[in-house]
Amino acid sequence: MTVGDLSDAELCGLLRAQRFTLRVGPFLVRLRSVMSEVQAALALLYRAHEIDTEADGAHFVIRLDHPGLVRRFFRAQAQLTFDLRQPFIPLPASMAAPMLEAGLNWCIGNYAHQFLVIHSATLERGGRALLMPAPPGSGKSTLCAALVTRGWRLLSDEFALVDPTTGILVPVPRPIALKEGSIDVIARWAPDAVFGPSVVNNEDETVAYMQPPARSVRDSGLTCRAGWIVVPQYVAGADATTTPMTRARALMHLADNSFNYNFHGRVGFDRLVAIADQAPSVTLRYSRLDEGVDAVDRLAQTGAP
């Protein structure tokens, strides 16, 4: 059963009764909330995700609710609780979706060290994965959103989850976070794309989430191996150019964008080396989305930069 199969009343009931357990890639996420904003965000952005009402527990147990009675009725706020912690300050209730996404990112970044976790948009085509490791602000989510509307399968716009011993990449498809101008760019690029409401976040940026393709969510059990590494750099006005990276540079780039390769010691280091060895790597400077997408497609077709 998927979230889309539930009526509003059923979704609301499960969320209130702490029986709403979502399958998000390799993770079970149990959510509890009385907030209509949370229900709306889930119904829209997690429509294709499976739920497991019989689960006997979850990797991440999250509550997203008003911090108190006052903040339920007066300038309503939301606060996120994970385990026994409240990692974020309460924010306006309208920001429920960004809080949920930030909360999940925080959980995966801090409590999923069974994986080697790399800060990277990750997509798949022809059984091989494209990694776009980059810090926030480099345009990786924008390019990722554009690629998933052109036949690429979404593994994640935020994380590459690598099994440290086998090197297998595990999909964790979730809504794609777009900021500021990227929202309109993608809305024009893919008129059929479904977006949640645009809200202004804590850093005064407008954020909107794009619904992940249903096929990517359904296929989240299909794992693959690294095939290409593309480091995107949005440069205003630039023509799309790809420049090959040495394996050493690619390795350093993976390490810089990894949350925890050091946690895995020798195994983690060797795994990053193996990925840099097997996946041709380029930097991609671009400003116009169609050129960027074409450049990635060409790379994937030729198999080499």
Strands 128-133 and 225-234: parallel
Task: Please report how close the Cβ of residue 160 comes to other proteins at its closest, in angstroms.
Answer: 17
Task: Please report how close the Cβ of residue 83 comes to other proteins at its closest, in angstroms.
Answer: 4
Region near other proteins per CB under 8 A, out of 79-87, 149-157, 195-203, 280-288 = 79-87
- Residue closer to other proteins by CB (options 79, 281) is 79
The answer to whether 83 contacts other proteins (rule: CB under 8 A) is yes
The answer to whether 27 contacts other proteins (rule: CB under 8 A) is yes
The answer to whether 59 contacts other proteins (rule: CB under 8 A) is yes
Kindly report the CA angle at 124 between 250 and 188, in degrees rounded to 5?
100
Interface positions, 87-126, toward other proteins (CB under 8 A): 111-114
On whether the CB atoms of residues 26 and 58 are closer than 8 A, the answer is no
- Residue closer to other proteins by CB (options 4, 67) is 67
Give all strands of the β-sheet with 206-210 in edge-to-edge order.
Answer: 176-179, 206-210, 199-200
Token pair 């997690």 is found at 46
Identify the sign of the CA torsion 289, 295, 301, 303: negative
Token pair 């690619």 is found at 250
The count of residues interacting with other proteins (CB under 8 A) is 24
Task: Please report how close the Cβ of residue 110 comes to other proteins at its closest, in angstroms.
Answer: 9
Region near other proteins per CB under 8 A, out of 146-154, 195-203, 259-267, 295-303 = 259-267
Q: Cβ-count burial of 106 within 10 angstroms (0-12 exposed, 13-18 middle, 19+ buried)?
A: middle
The binding track of 28-47 with respect to other proteins, each residue x by CB under 8 A or -, is x-------------------
Element (DSSP H or E) covering residue 159: strand 159-162
Give the interface with other proteins as residue ranges (CB under 8 A).
26-28, 55-59, 61, 63, 81, 83-86, 111-114, 260, 262-265
